[in-house]
Amino acid sequence: MYTVEIVKDKFWIVEDAGIKLGVIRKTRSSDFEVIIREDGIETLSPNALTSRFGSKILESRQVKKLESVEYGKDIDEVEGYPSKHRSFNKHLDDKGLPVYTKTEKSKVLYAAGYYGLDFPGAGWKNAYCVKRETLDNYKFIGPFKSKSHLEAEINKCMKQ
């Protein structure tokens, strides 16, 4: 985890491997307002900030952004299924799903291809290259090699 300074000595974006996780903003009282996706908003003293995130958290680092594309576009493939990210550590997981990581050292798995996810209360939704963990948490159909095939299968599920 590192930061990219946006406004000198006042505002930083917290990232990990080019993925935005949150922001840090210096307040008028010289404390720091920290907003991280999972943690919400909290105000930390300078000592608490460095204790939690490390002494170099405000030393801005410029990193090469991960390549990715918008929904429905692909730049790589895993076992014949499209991927919207440059893919590393490609393989079929224990359930036979085509998975990959965004970097060579990453442990976060993504599932290549198109999926239909059944969200409680919201119904079936399209998904493209979702985190593998998401597929453990929701009922799903897929993978599919095209958006049109996914949409046809979602229509069948909605009629049942």
Would you say residue 66 lies in a domain? no
* Residues 25 and 86 reside in one and the same domain: no
pLDDT along the chain (160 residues), means of 10: 83 80 91 86 93 88 56 79 92 97 93 95 92 96 95 88
Structural domain including 87 reads 76-159
pLDDT at 69: 52
- DSSP 8-state symbol, 123: E
Would you say residue 137 lies in a domain? yes
* Residues 30 and 89 reside in one and the same domain: no
Both tokens assigned to 27:
């307040």
In angstroms, the CA 77 to CA 98 distance is 9
Count of the separate structural domains present in the chain: 2
pLDDT at 118: 94
Amino acid at 82: P
* Residues 80 and 155 reside in one and the same domain: yes
Question: Measured between alpha carbons, how far apart are the two ends of the chain, in Å?
Answer: 45
The alpha-carbon radius of gyration of the chain (Å, integer) is: 19
Question: Alpha helices of the chain — where are they, by DSSP H?
Answer: 46-53, 132-137, 147-159
pLDDT at 131: 96
* Residues 43 and 109 reside in one and the same domain: no
pLDDT digits (tens, 9 = 90+) for 33-80: 999 877 789 999 999 999 988 888 898 876 555 455 555 567 889 999
